[in-house]
Structure 1
Amino acid sequence: MAKSAPEYWLRGPVDGIPALLQPAAHALLQTRLEARTYTKDFDESLLWEMPHGRANVGFHLQHIAGVIDRMLAYADQKSLSENQFEYLKSEGKPNQDIHLEDLLLHLETKINEALIYFRNINIQNLTDYRSVGRKKLPSTLLGVLFHTAEHSQRHIGQLLVTVSALSK
């Protein structure tokens, strides 16, 4: 039996990522791995099914990617674009033209964008104020980046439960 690799947080530092952002990078890399792992044998015909009225697998994959994209906009002190609002509205809506592999690739692209952002950050700015959302709720750059990572892990847990419920 093959020995599995430890979780990302136990694999050591991610090259080029500042020490203070290592936990966020580890969480995003774990999200990328688990999204693939949990959907490996998933029946794609169930992608938009909502077991017990809960969010579908498609939603979780779209939502994680969307949150990463939106949080990086807030990190850059930008308002959301019309495209981002349209994407937000479409999260979880059944679309037979969107396939599981499309969602996984899009998620991986957004995770890679976040890791590039982390590599290029000036750590002196991590405690700088950032406003979030239309209400301009208060946070910091570090808070926004941490939320990007922890929110991805929250939805990966929900994705696992949804996949498990639909695969029975």
Structure 2
Amino acid sequence: METKKEVWLRGEKDPALPPELQPAADALLQAGEELELLLKDFPGTLLWERPAGVAAVGFHLKHIAGVLDRLLTYAEEKTLSPEQLAYLKNEPVPDAEPVRDLLQRVHAGIEQTLLRFRGLSAASLTAQRAVGRAGLPSTVIGLCFHAAEHTMRHTGQLLVTAKLLQNR
């Protein structure tokens, strides 16, 4: 069986993206593919289990979708809405949403992030942005890359947790 190349090695580039953001887009697309493969048959009964106290698979899925939206909101020089703040507060709260729906939420978040990346100009990438209530300093490109690396960090944690839960 031939192994599919990672997204960044496929040579497929999005001409609508500032070229500086292509690596971040590749990482987001890779995360989506890895999550899809791993969670294809993941049992919903395990979604909110926390082996050894680690974050639940359900939390990671909700968090990835939420953090992408929040980081791009900052990149667009906007403040978080009450709905975004409520979503953030509820990310760790177990609910009855099925795995497939949470996974679809992540895919939608990745697609929305890529659309938002396309709306950024190369000239805007070094613009300064304030992050969070404390107004911590960043740049547009810093927020975009953090969105990608943060997504990959949670994807990795989710993959390990899911494997542990399924192989007990």
Partner of 2:47: 47
Partner of 1:36: 36
Distance 1:56 1:43 in 2: 13
SS of 1:28's partner is helix
Partner of 1:152: 151
Please list every run of 5 or more consecutive structure 2 residues that lacks an aligned counterpart in the other structure: none
Misfit runs of 4+, over 3 Å: none
Deviations 1:41-87 (A, max 9, x none): 21111101111111000000111111100011101111111111110
Give the superposition deviation at 1:14.
2.5
In the superposition, the TM-score normalised over structure 2's length comes to 0.96
Give the superposition deviation at 1:120.
2.1
Partner of 1:78: 78
Deviations 1:10-68 (A, max 9, x none): 01143222210111000000011011111122111110111111100000011111110
In the superposition, the TM-score normalised over structure 1's length comes to 0.96
Pair 1:89 & 2:89 matched: yes
Give the superposition deviation at 1:131.
0.6
Give the superposition deviation at 1:90.
0.8
Please list every run of 5 or more consecutive structure 1 residues that lacks an aligned counterpart in the other structure: none
Partner of 1:68: 68
SS of 2:126's partner is coil
Percent of aligned pairs sharing the same letter: 51
SS of 1:106's partner is helix
Partner of 2:17: 17
Letter in 2 for 1:145: C
| Residues 74 and 132 in structure 1, CA contact (< 8 A), matched pair in contact too | yes
SS of 2:130's partner is strand
Backbone CA RMSD of aligned residues: 0.9
